[in-house]
Amino acid sequence: MTSIAFIGLGNMGGPMAANLVKAGHSVHGFDLTPASRDAAKADGVTIAAKAADAVKNAEVVITMLPAGKHVLSVWSEIIPAVAKGTLMIDCSTIDVESARKSHALAAEHHLPSIDAPVSGGTGGAKAGTLTFMAGGDAKAFAAAKPILEAMGKKIVHCGDAGAGQAAKICNNMILGISMIGVSEAFVLAEKLGLSHQALFDVASTSSGQCWSLTSYCPVPGPVPTSPSNNEYRPGFAAALMLKDLRLSQEAAKAAGAVTPLGAHAESIYETFEKAGHGGVDFSGIIHQLRHLAGK
């Protein structure tokens, strides 16, 4: 049993903390929102009055927060309160620069740290089947791995500080672009009088095959579990896809990479969000493309 502090008990953090409790760990947690605190308490998390109290006796600290500014602010607050040798793990999806700054904050206090963003969504968080993409030194990764295994099924060491975040935004840039590509193909098929099922049957077993088509098919019917069959309820909200595409474009600019399709995908999701659809599953982008086609 490990004593773990978990800060940020929202849609992802709540079920992740619950899985740590189920695995037999002692979990102390904190969240700014009363509803998140209450739900985590019902799952066996001991709720502290503030983040710095939750980390007092922790051997491992995990954060699962909205963005880089929240992670830097919480890490600055709690690091002076943690015991020597405490392992710091951030599972949020944040920009690579903030991830590297958070590692530097930990290093100033001689604390091991890893960035370990996830993929798999709220379903994976509940089922304990997340994929973790980790960045940090080998010793910190080895210490984190058994803890992450209580919340995920695949744990990949991607490299040094920030490499987990780099892997996450590169993957999600592919995802955003591929979802638009698959949606464009269905809109073109509609115009050509080709049925959704016929396109799916061909493309899912041909060179057009990809996760956006076979797991998150943007039209209802061919993949019964995809959000399109459930009125495009997320799943993975378009606002979160836009956040990740923005992170990819910030990183591309800073690193001098040329990512024209990533930039175009960002602008298409931005228009979708500005039209009030940020809460729709990201596969709902097909509506935006039909709208552009004047349907």
Q: Give the active site residues.
A: 168
Per CB under 6 A, the segment of 24-32, 134-142, 216-224, 281-289 that binds ligand NAD is 24-32
Q: What is the DSSP letter of 1?
A: -
Contacts of 144 (CB under 8 A, 6+ apart): 60, 87, 89, 114, 116, 134, 136
Binding to ligand NAD by residue 66, rule CB under 6 A? yes
Q: How far is the CB of 48 from ligand NAD (least distance, A)?
A: 10
Q: Which of 4, 20, 52, 65 binds ligand NAD (CB under 6 A)?
A: 65
Quote the tokens at residue 255. 């690193």
Sign of CA dihedral 62, 150, 244, 115: positive
Binding to ligand NAD by residue 32, rule CB under 6 A? yes
Q: Which of 20, 40, 51, 251 binds ligand NAD (CB under 6 A)?
A: 51
Per CB under 6 A, the segment of 79-87, 113-121, 272-280, 282-290 that binds ligand NAD is 113-121
- Candidates 62, 82, 72; CA nearest to 7 is 62
Residue number, 78 or 189, with CB nearest to ligand NAD: 78
Quote the tokens at residue 150. 């209580």
Chain position whose Cβ is nearest to ligand NAD: 10
The H or E element that residue 159 is part of is strand 152-159
The H or E element that residue 291 is part of is helix 285-292
Binding to ligand NAD by residue 232, rule CB under 6 A? no
Positions that interact with ligand NAD (CB under 6 A): 7-13, 30-33, 36, 51, 64-66, 70, 74, 92-93, 118-119, 121-122, 236, 240, 243
